[in-house]
Amino acid sequence: AQSVTQLGSHVSVSEGALVLLRCNYSSSVPPYLFWYVQYPNQGLQLLLKYTSAATLVKGINGFEAEFKKSETSFHLTKPSAHMSDAAEYFCAVSPYSGGGADGLTFGKGTHLIIQP
C-alpha cells in the first residue's frame, strides 16, 4: 500500500522568496514520485518526476525536488517565487514494480499563495 502526505494545505510566500512544499510518502516497494501543478479549473500538468536515477530532479518553471530515502521525503523547492507560481500542487506516488497501470496515489494538495 502507498500513501502520500503533503504538509500544509496552504503555503504563503512573498514574491522572490524561497518556495518549499513538503511531501512525505509511504511505500512498501521502491517508488516513482511525481509533482503536478494545477491552475484553477484546469487539469494537472507534470512538473517533475523521480524514477530512481538522480536523487535531485529538475523540472519545469525552475522547480526541483530531492528524493531522500532515509526521510521518505520528496520536497519541492524553487529559489525565487514568481506571481505565476500561484496554483495547487500535488505530490503523487507509484510503485515501479507491478506494472504501475493502476494509477497514481495523490496527496491532498498544497495551495501556494504568492504575496506581492
Partner 1 sequence: DGGITQSPKYLFRKEGQNVTLSCEQNLNHDAMYWYRQDPGQGLRLIYYSQIVNDFQKGDIAEGYSVSREKKESFPLTVTSAQKNPTAFYLCASSAPGQGEVVGELFFGEGSRLTVL
Site residues for partner 1 per CB under 8 A: 9, 32, 34, 36, 41-46, 49, 51, 90, 92, 94-96, 99-104, 106-109
Asked whether 11 and 112 are in contact (CB, 8 A), the reply is yes
Overall residue count recorded for the chain in this entry: 116
Between CA 89 and CA 62 the distance in angstroms is 14
Give whichever of 17 and 64 is closer to partner 1, judged by the CB atom: 64
Give whichever of 56 and 102 is closer to partner 1, judged by the CB atom: 102
61: CB partners within 8 A, 6+ apart: 37, 47, 78, 84, 85
Give whichever of 68 and 108 is closer to partner 1, judged by the CB atom: 108
Between CA 42 and CA 93 the distance in angstroms is 21
Q: How far is the CB of 1 from partner 1 (least distance, A)?
A: 12
Q: How far is the CB of 69 from partner 1 (least distance, A)?
A: 18
Q: How far is the CB of 91 from partner 1 (least distance, A)?
A: 9
